Structures are given as structure tokens and as C-alpha cells.
A and B are shown apart, each in its own frame.
Chain A
Amino acid sequence: SAVISQKPSRDICQRGTSLTIQCQVDSQVTMMFWYRQQPGQSLTLIATANQGSEATYESGFVIDKFPISRPNLTFSTLTVSNMSPEDSSIYLCSVGQGGNYGYTFGSGTRLTVV
């Protein structure tokens, strides 16, 4: 199955600043998915990133707040902009695979906004 390297693993940021999270996949994939997991909650899909086109955002998430880049088939970034304490969450990237591998997830970025 694919291996995803996600950075940073954790960060503590000041409110009003931005953080960019990177995901590198060891194989080419069509789509990458970005999820948010708020404390004690389940995973919520933020957006789907397709190489060569703008990301598709889920209801409640907007590009100005969570801009996404997908420059090639193995890499994507998610930026959390103008952060507030409510943005404190774990952010995870994911890729879908065929066969019996299901979806593979990055190790997550644990963000704390103070």
C-alpha cells in the first residue's frame, strides 16, 4: 500500500497566523483527501484535491480559510489560514487505493492554536 509522509507532526501556533501542512505520497495517486478531526470528534472531510484543478470543498469549508495545492500526483499541501483556537485539531491527508488497502492516511498534524 501507499506510504504517506505528513509534516509537521505537530505545531503550536499563534492566532492570526497560518500553517501549511505537507503530504508526500510514495506513489502517484489521482486524488488526495484532507480531513479535520476536532478534539474528541470523528473525521470530517475538508476537501478533495485533484492534480491540475482546484480542490473541491465540502460544505462548511472555504478556499480562503483552507487553501490547497496539488502541484503533482504525489504531493499536496493544506494551509490553515488566519488561525483561531477553534482550528485546534488533528489534520490528516489520505489517498484511496484499490485492492484490499482501502484508504491510507498520513500520520496526522496535531495543531494547537493559542
Chain B
Amino acid sequence: AQKVTQAQTEISVVEKEDVTLDCVYETRDTTYYLFWYKQPPSGELVFLIRRNSFDEQNEISGRYSWNFQKSTSSFNFTITASQVVDSAVYFCALSGPNTNAGKSTFGDGTTLTVKP
């Protein structure tokens, strides 16, 4: 069975602080995919990144970076120099090898509040 744990329920930071959102996963698949999504107050789910299990290279996209460590089954997300617009619920998710046909398992989400 697949499981995603986001231990941080809520995080509050002041603008310009760096913040890291933790994600730990469990799966028996040897090939799998990890995702991060952002859900702003409007409710839509915005795809941020997908990482496959064979690619442990860290990724940076602007102020966002992701640290995938297979040895610890973690896929953490860091926002550098946070902004008020980053306030949202962030979900980490896990899927099996075939994203055309397989479902995702979501963590419970971390609510990030960035104060001005």
C-alpha cells in the first residue's frame, strides 16, 4: 500500500523567510512518481513538480527547490524568500509507475501562511 506523510499541518513564516515542507512516503513499487501541488484559497489544484524514482537529482525552479532522497524516502520542498502569494495548502502525492492509468495517493497537506 502507498502512504504519504506530511507531518507539518501548519507553518507560519514572515515574508522573505525560507521555509521547507516535509514529505515522507511509503511504497512497494520500484518505479514510482512523486508530486507536489499547490492549492490556493480558490480551491484549484496547481501542479508544481513531478519526480520519478530513478532521478534523485535535486531540482530548482525560481524560488522553489525540491530535495528527493530515496534513502530516507523523503521528497522535501523548499521555498526561498517566501512571499505572501505563497500562502496556500501544499500537497505531496505519490503514484505508481503508470501515470496514465494509475491513481495518486495524497498526503494530508501543509497549510503555509506567509505574513507580510
Interface membership of A110, Cβ < 8 A: yes
Query: How many residue pairs bridge A and B at CB < 8 Å?
Result: 62
Interface membership of B103, Cβ < 8 A: yes
Contact (Cβ within 8 A) B99 A102: yes
Cβ contacts B95-110/A at 8 Å (1 or 0 each): 1001111111011110
Query: Which residue of B35, B44, B99, B108 contacts A42 across the interface (Cβ within 8 Å)?
Result: B108
Q: Chain A: how many interface residues by the 8 Å CB criterion? A: 27
Interface membership of A72, Cβ < 8 A: no
Cβ contacts A62-106/B at 8 Å (1 or 0 each): 000000000000000000000000000010101011101111111
Interface membership of A107, Cβ < 8 A: yes
Q: Which residues of A contact B (CB under 8 A)?
A: 1, 29-31, 33, 41-45, 48, 90, 92, 94, 96-98, 100-108, 110
Please indicate the chain A residues that have their CB under 8 angstroms from the CB of B45 in the complex: 43, 92, 105, 108
